[in-house]
């Protein structure tokens, strides 16, 4: 936000000048009487008796003798029957003094008088209002900063910096509900304009929900953060919260690990081991092999006291993976002859992870169409993952968006829609 010294460099001296307009008589040309500019010029009157003291004030200000300048201004304020322009000029001088002495309250009073006058253009008034809001913000006077920022937005609602000032002012004064309301309005504007929201705004919104202990609100914002600004840390937090939602089925634990793996959030040897074992139980030794390889590549497997056990697991996984490739066709025949589609879905996904995506996806779709599945939503989740791994992201998103329920499958499907293509393969 703008500091008070910068405020006048940019908003007073540059925009308005340091001197008083050299108008000492109040007679306008007759042929300009109807013109608005001429009418304003007619009102821009400084009487002769005030010209000298005003000039003296300006000289004192140039020497930064603020106390002496203030004394002079106070004397001029006592003059009777001041013209509108003389009053405006005194407000402006008070503003310069306030700027030099860091007197924000005096600055606000002076600005109020200037903004209410007719001697500034609307754009100049807005610059003063914005500057004062920023000054209050820097001084941590958030109520006043919000008041002036809102006053600005009433005249110009397009300034993102001023909107941010309002949201942050509410947050810093611990009014988290108002911060959330302001930020959601800003995010809705981003969405309407098809703009990506700033990471800073999303993080501030997430923190506001956290301060209110609104876990649902926080998680919803966290999804938006991951969608636009994915990092390992954001992903880890989101997956953890998904796993611990009420009703999340332990049946989906392997699917949870799949997300942890692609987002690089497995940071413990035991997690690699458990994921590999779950993949073996699911009849997917090729996936178990991929998991073990990732664990060794990370340096978490094959070292320490458990190194020998890790090697035994790797040998077993490699052996089963090699044998599985030889029996895929036989498994397909058995699955096609089964009464339900469970076998087709499972063998189809096995083909996918064995680099035969087209054939595998066809079998999975046959299995889903055949029915008799323990969990249709889980089967669709795996089909969406298969499409994603095959590179058909559009079809994957279509499948993911169709998944419903409260057991966690729909939550995981939604998270998969945020996974970048390079991570999914």
Give the pTM. Answer: 0.78
**Quick one: pLDDT at residue 34?**
45
The yes-or-no verdict on residue 31 having pLDDT over 90 is no
- Average pLDDT, rounded, for the chain: 88
Give the mean pLDDT of 184-208.
Answer: 96
The yes-or-no verdict on residue 109 having pLDDT over 90 is no
- DSSP output for 57-92: HHHHHHTT-HHHHHHHHHHHHT-SS--HHHHHHHHH
Give the mean pLDDT of 296-320.
Answer: 97
Q: Which of 38-42, 123-127, 149-153, 216-220 has the lowest mean pLDDT?
A: 38-42
**Quick one: pLDDT at residue 44?**
65
The yes-or-no verdict on residue 283 having pLDDT over 90 is yes
Instruction: Map tokens 């997917």 to a residue.
Output: 284
What confidence tier does 39 reach under pLDDT thresholds 50, 70, 90?
low
Q: Which residues contact 163 (CB under 8 A, 6 or more apart)?
A: 149, 153, 182, 186
The yes-or-no verdict on residue 22 having pLDDT over 70 is no
**Quick one: pLDDT at residue 337?**
92
What confidence tier does 41 reach under pLDDT thresholds 50, 70, 90?
low
**Quick one: pLDDT at residue 108?**
85
The string of pLDDT tens digits covering residues 147-189 is: 999 999 999 999 999 999 999 999 999 999 999 999 999 999 9
**Quick one: pLDDT at residue 48?**
78
Which tokens hold the place of 29? Answer: 């040309």
Q: What is the DSSP letter of 13?
A: I
Give the mean pLDDT of 230-251.
Answer: 95
Give the mean pLDDT of 119-135.
Answer: 87
The string of pLDDT tens digits covering residues 50-83 is: 788 888 888 898 899 999 999 988 988 888 888 8
**Quick one: pLDDT at residue 28?**
37
Rg (CA), the chain: 35
- B/e letters for 295-333, b = 16+ CB within 10 Å, e = fewer, are bbeeebbbeeebeeebeebbebbeebbeebeeebeebbe
The string of pLDDT tens digits covering residues 324-340 is: 999 998 889 999 999 99
**Quick one: pLDDT at residue 235?**
97
The string of pLDDT tens digits covering residues 252-273 is: 999 999 999 999 999 999 999 9
Give the mean pLDDT of 383-391.
Answer: 96
Give the mean pLDDT of 125-150.
Answer: 91
The yes-or-no verdict on residue 407 having pLDDT over 60 is yes
What confidence tier does 112 reach under pLDDT thresholds 50, 70, 90?
confident
**Quick one: pLDDT at residue 35?**
54
């Amino acid at each position: 936000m703008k500091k008070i010294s910068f405020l006048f460099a940019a908003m007073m001296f540059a925009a308005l000048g340091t001197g008083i307009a050299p108008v000492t008589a109040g007679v306008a040309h007759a042929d300009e009487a109807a013109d608005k500019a001429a009418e304003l010029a007619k009102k821009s009157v400084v009487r002769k008796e005030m010209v000298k003291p005003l000039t003296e004030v300006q000289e004192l200000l140039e020497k930064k003798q603020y106390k002496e300048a203030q004394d002079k201004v106070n004397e001029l304020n006592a003059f009777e029957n001041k013209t509108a322009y003389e009053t405006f000029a005194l407000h402006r001088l008070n503003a310069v003094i306030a700027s030099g002495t860091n007197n924000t309250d005096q600055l606000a009073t002076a600005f109020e008088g200037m903004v209410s006058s007719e001697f500034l253009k609307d754009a100049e008034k807005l610059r003063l209002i914005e500057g004062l809001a920023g000054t209050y913000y820097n001084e941590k006077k958030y109520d006043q900063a919000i008041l002036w920022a809102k006053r600005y937005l009433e005249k110009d609602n397009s300034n993102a910096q001023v909107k941010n000032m309002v949201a942050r002012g509410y947050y810093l004064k611990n009014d988290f509900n108002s911060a959330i309301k302001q930020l959601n309005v800003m995010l809705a504007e981003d969405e309407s304009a098809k703009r990506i929201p700033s990471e800073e705004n999303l993080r501030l919104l997430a923190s506001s929900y956290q301060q209110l202990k609104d876990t649902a609100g926080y998680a919803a914002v966290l999804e938006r953060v991951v969608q636009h600004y994915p990092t390992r840390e954001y992903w880890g937090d989101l997956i953890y919260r998904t796993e611990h939602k009420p009703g999340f089925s332990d049946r989906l634990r392997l699917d949870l690990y799949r997300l942890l793996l692609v987002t690089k959030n497995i940071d413990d040897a035991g997690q690699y081991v458990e994921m590999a074992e779950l993949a073996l139980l699911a009849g997917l030794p090729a996936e178990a092999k991929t998991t073990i390889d990732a664990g060794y590549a990370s340096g978490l497997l094959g070292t320490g006291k458990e190194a020998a056990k890790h090697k035994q697991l790797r040998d077993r996984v490699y052996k089963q993976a090699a044998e599985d490739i030889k029996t895929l066709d036989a498994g397909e025949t058995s699955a096609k002859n089964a009464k339900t589609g469970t076998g087709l879905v499972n063998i189809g996904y096995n083909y996918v992870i064995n680099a035969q995506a087209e054939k595998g996806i066809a079998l999975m779709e046959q299995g889903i169409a055949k029915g008799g599945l323990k969990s249709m939503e889980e089967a669709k989740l795996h089909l969406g993952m298969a499409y994603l791994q095959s590179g058909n992201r559009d079809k994957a998103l279509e499948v993911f968006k169709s998944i419903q329920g409260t057991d966690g499958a729909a939550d995981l499907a939604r998270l998969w829609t945020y996974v970048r293509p390079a991570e999914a393969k």
